[in-house]
């Protein structure tokens, strides 16, 4: 077994690998860019080596620097994680040539499967069902349109070296095929250095289901069940689960056996995933093979009880797989939500900056394959003991529970140079409904402040009746949230509870204020029972609801709140300033979030629960009367400006002063978190001023162009 390994990655996957290596008694080396010098993976590793400036092309994609770091530290093996160089056959080959073990498949297998054009030909030859399409690189946009017409719309335009939703477009007509080919080619060239693009038939109402494989150097390959990954936004997975609620046992076995055939055809050794598109009649077709660990691997670990990272390390060290196909288990139901740094209410634009607060829900799952819930005695470079890969405590026998995989911590920075995922929230339940319930409660307790996150969107998806029923495909998000995601898309099953909780929180705060010593006799704060909860709307229009808070007990933290036609007995040990409030309402446990001083009003209270947010002022009846008389100040008219909707790098300004611009015309391009975002004019106009220059780092709402 290796004594020391280097992790050629960053973020949560680097932390994930470090924790398993520590469990195995293996020392770890982290590599980091200038932007990641204070990152969690650097702190957890035994050693760390700086490999260059913040952009990934100057650091995490620098193969020679990573190999030099191995030699410098004496690392015997490299784990590439996912993304960056993980599926780069040239990197794997260079590592092997230097006498370092690549913890992944052999470079020949990566080359065979990493090229999406060649992999389809190999899959067909191995007896795997393949989708109709043209598997040769296409030279021009015009040729792409001609081919697309021949196959029949809709078609999928895909970069040969693509992955993670990059370099992929779906076209429903000639115009989209023309534009999609150009966009794919440009995105692939900048992301992967390979601009080859191919086209295939797009299966409508498809499901995206993948088979997890594990192979060793003795010719053994097993499949570890499937993962359902159909909940996607713009071809990037949002929620994954295992098993799939859709396929039959016969389909599962057929897909697994075909995946094994393909792996054996390329002498596959390590963890890998074969992705299939599955039709509503359970017909399935090969999409691609990912020759690396997948982001969503924890759901497979939950239902099988295996640690996939440990198996990868053991196989790379020359060990035989410790189990055969008949030994693979499938227990319970697991789900994973990707927690991304993006604002769902602003069309999911990236959100970068300081994590003012980062408090994940308490982890209650044992580590995959761990006999005990306690971590090993090894301590990271930061001097503290980190949690296990899948949790730090035990509940329900250590089998079911909550797990958080993350690469960030309280006070950390979310840089704009890398992808938007900041954590993965994983739950394991007895069945699918139990897993959904656990996930909703865990999301309620996931506190993120300082940046926006997609948690409200995840909560909405989990509450959607069709998702709960398992009735969805890869078009689910586009169909249900095609006009974007709005606050009203998350209806609360009991909105009066949010009002009652706001009144309860306000009463607790006033109770503390009334109890402060040193108040002048006769002038101390007295608190009444009647309140008015004013909901603060985006347009300045306020909703108003009366609430009566009685039976207030400071010691027990209990009160009865009557609002609307409902009465709520709320009991909690919440303390002022706490971001999470846990307790019981009418005897039922709940978790919600509280924030004071939101927006521009220091007295406003924000309550968040089950993805729904209430921003409110809680006032006495007389104060509410006076508040209604206050004038409303309308925000300034910014319709003449094109504003940056997010922090990012201005990579192009497509207009000049004096130019006539029509609505829908391209104005500027901003890049953040590895994605290009094109800004278009929303109305006809003439450019009066260009207020930002190409190459400039922009802040949110910074003006770029002014129209006259």
Backbone angles phi, psi at 293, to 5 degrees: -75, 140
Q: Which residue has the tokens 């689960």?
A: 241
Are 641 and 705 in contact by the 8 Å Cβ rule? The answer is yes
d(C-alpha 356, C-alpha 335), whole Å: 27
Q: Residue 205 to residues 149, 278, 473: CA-CA distances in angstroms?
A: 20, 9, 6
Domain at 641-707, CATH class: mainly beta
Residue among 213, 246, 215 at smallest CA distance from 228: 246
Q: Which fold has domain 344-455?
A: D-amino Acid Aminotransferase; Chain A, domain 1 (3.30.470)
Dist CA 593 CA 611 (whole Å): 10
Alpha-carbon gap, residue 406 to 493, rounded angstroms: 31
Q: Which residue intervals of 325-420 are DSSP H helices? A: none
Under DSSP, the state recorded for 391 is: B
- The C-alpha angle 376, 378, 380, rounded to 5 degrees, equals 125
**Strand segments (E) across 85-206:** 101-102, 133-134, 155-163, 166-171, 197-201
- Other CB atoms within a 10 A radius of the CB of residue 469 amount to 10
441 and 347 in contact (C-beta within 8 Å)? no
CATH architecture of 495-515+526-627: 2-Layer Sandwich (3.30)
For residues 334 and 242, the answer to whether their CB atoms sit within 8 Å is yes
Q: What is the pLDDT of residue 226?
A: 97
Q: What is the pLDDT of residue 389?
A: 39
Are residues 695 and 649 in contact, defined by beta-carbon separation less than 8 angstroms? yes
Q: Is 257 a catalytic residue?
A: no
- CATH number for the region 4-103 comes to 3.40.50.20
Distance from C-alpha of 654 to C-alpha of 664, rounded to nearest angstrom: 13
User: Is residue 406 within 8 Å of residue 12, measured between CB atoms?
Assistant: yes
Token pair for 10: 């960053």
Write down the pLDDT at residue 390. Answer: 37
Pick left, alpha or beta for residue 231 (phi over 0 → left; psi -120 to 50 → alpha; otherwise beta).
beta
Alpha carbon of 642 to those of 484, 667, 676, 708: distances in Å?
20, 8, 17, 12
Q: How far apart are the first and last CA of the chain?
A: 69
Number of Cβ atoms within 10 Å of the Cβ of 139: 10
Cα separation of 578 and 595, whole Å? 8
Q: Look up the pTM and report it.
A: 0.84
243, two tokens: 């098993």
Which segments of the chain have a pLDDT < 70? 163-165, 366-399, 537-542, 674
Please state which CATH number belongs to domain 132-201. 3.30.1490.20
Cα dist from 80 to 61, 367, 628, whole Å: 11, 21, 60
With contact defined as beta carbons under 8 Å apart, do 612 and 498 qualify? yes
Give the span between the Cα atoms of 88 and 79, in whole angstroms.
13
Domain with CATH 3.30.700.30 in the chain: 495-515+526-627
Angle at Cα 472 formed by Cα 467 and Cα 473, nearest 5°? 140
User: CB neighbours (10 Å) of residue 300?
Assistant: 29
CA distance 6 to 32: 11
Catalytic annotation, pick one of 288, 336, 342, 370: 288
Q: Where in the chain is the domain with CATH 3.30.470.20?
A: 344-455
The C-alpha atoms of residue 186 and residue 676 are separated, in whole angstroms, by 10
- SS3 state of residue 672: strand
CATH 3.40.50.20 location in the chain: 4-103
| Beta pairing partners, 641 | 706
**Dist CA 111 CA 106 (whole Å):** 9
Nearest to 52 by CA among 417, 595, 524: 417
Contacts of 178 (CB under 8 A, 6+ apart): 141, 142, 144, 145
**Dihedral of CA 80/81/86/92: which sign?**
positive
Residue 262: predicted pLDDT:
97
Q: Phi and psi of 685, rounded to 5°?
A: 180, 180
Collapse the DSSP code of 376 into the 3-class scheme (helix H, G, I; strand E, B; otherwise coil) and give the result. Answer: coil
């Amino acid at each position: 077994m290796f004594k020391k390994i280097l992790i050629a990655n960053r973020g949560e996957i680097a932390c994930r690998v470090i924790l398993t290596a520590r469990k195995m008694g293996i020392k770890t080396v982290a590599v980091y860019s200038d932007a990641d010098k204070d990152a969690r993976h650097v702190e957890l590793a035994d050693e760390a080596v700086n490999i260059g400036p913040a952009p990934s092309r100057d650091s995490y994609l620098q193969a020679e620097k990573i190999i030099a770091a191995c030699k410098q530290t004496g690392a015997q093996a490299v784990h590439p994680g996912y993304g960056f160089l993980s599926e780069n056959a040239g990197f794997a080959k260079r590592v092997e040539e230097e006498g370092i073990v690549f913890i992944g498949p052999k470079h020949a297998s990566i080359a065979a499967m990493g090229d999406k054009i060649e992999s389809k030909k190999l899959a067909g030859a191995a007896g795997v069902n393949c989708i109709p399409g043209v598997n040769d690189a296409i030279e021009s946009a015009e040729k792409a349109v001609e081919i697309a017409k021949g196959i029949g719309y809709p078609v999928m335009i895909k970069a040969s070296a693509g992955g993670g939703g990059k370099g992929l477009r779906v076209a429903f007509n000639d115009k989209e095929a023309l534009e999609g080919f150009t966009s794919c080619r440009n995105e692939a060239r900048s992301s992967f250095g390979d601009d080859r693009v191919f086209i295939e038939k797009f299966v409508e109402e498809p499901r995206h289901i993948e088979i997890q494989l594990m192979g060793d150097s003795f010719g053994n390959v097993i499949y570890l069940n499937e993962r359902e990954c159909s909940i996607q936004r713009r071809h990037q997975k949002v929620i994954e689960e295992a098993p799939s609620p859709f396929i039959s046992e016969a389909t599962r076995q057929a897909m697994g056996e075909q995946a094994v055939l393909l792996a054996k055809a390329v002498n596959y050794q390590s963890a890998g995933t074969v992705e299939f598109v599955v039709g509503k009649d359970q017909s399935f077709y090969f999409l691609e093979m990912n020759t690396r660990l997948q982001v969503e691997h924890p759901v497979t670990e939950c239902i099988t009880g295996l640690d996939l990272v440990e198996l990868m390390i053991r196989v790379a060290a020359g060990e035989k797989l410790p189990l055969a196909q008949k030994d693979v288990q499938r227990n319970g139901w697991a789900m994973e939500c990707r927690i991304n740094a993006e604002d769902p209410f602003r069309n999911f634009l990236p959100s970068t900056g300081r994590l003012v607060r980062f408090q994940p829900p308490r982890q209650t799952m044992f580590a995959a394959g761990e006999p005990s819930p306690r971590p090993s005695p090894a301590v990271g470079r930061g001097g503290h003991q980190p949690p296990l890969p899948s949790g730090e405590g035990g509940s329900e026998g250590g089998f079911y529970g909550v797990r958080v995989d993350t690469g960030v911590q309280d006070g950390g920075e979310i840089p704009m140079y890398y992808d938007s995922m900041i954590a993965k929230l994983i739950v394991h339940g007895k069945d699918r409904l139990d897993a959904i319930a656990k996930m909703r409660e865990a999301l309620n307790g996931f506190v993120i402040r300082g940046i926006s996150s997609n948690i409200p969107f995840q909560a909405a998806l989990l509450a959607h009746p069709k998702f709960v029923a398992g009735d969805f495909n890869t078009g689910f998000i586009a169909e249900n949230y095609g006009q974007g995601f709005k606050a009203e898309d998350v209806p609360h099953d009991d909105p009066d509870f949010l009002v009652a909780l706001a009144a309860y929180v306000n009463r607790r705060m006033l109770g503390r204020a009334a109890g402060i010593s040193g108040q002048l006799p006769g002038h101390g704060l007295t608190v009444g029972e009647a309140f008015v909860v004013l909901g603060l709307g985006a347009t300045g229009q306020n909703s108003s609801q009366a609430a009566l808070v009685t039976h207030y007990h400071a010691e027990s933290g209990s009160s009865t709140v009557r609002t609307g036609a409902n009465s709520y007995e709320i009991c909690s040990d919440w303390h002022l300033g706490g971001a999470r409030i846990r307790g019981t309402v009418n005897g039922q446990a709940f978790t919600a979030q509280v924030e004071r001083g939101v927006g521009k009003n220091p007295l406003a209270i924000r309550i968040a629960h089950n993805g729904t947010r209430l921003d409110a002022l809680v006032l006495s009846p007389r104060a509410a009367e006076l508040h209604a008389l206050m004038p409303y100040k309308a925000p300034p008219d910014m319709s003449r400006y094109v504003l940056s909707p997010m922090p990012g790098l201005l990579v192009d300004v497509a207009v000049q002063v004096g130019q006539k611009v029509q609505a829908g015309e391209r104005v500027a391009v901003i890049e953040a978190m590895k994605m290009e975002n094109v800004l278009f004019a929303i109305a006809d106009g003439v450019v009066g001023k260009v207020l930002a220059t190409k190459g400039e780092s922009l802040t949110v709402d910074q003006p770029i162009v002014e129209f006259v």
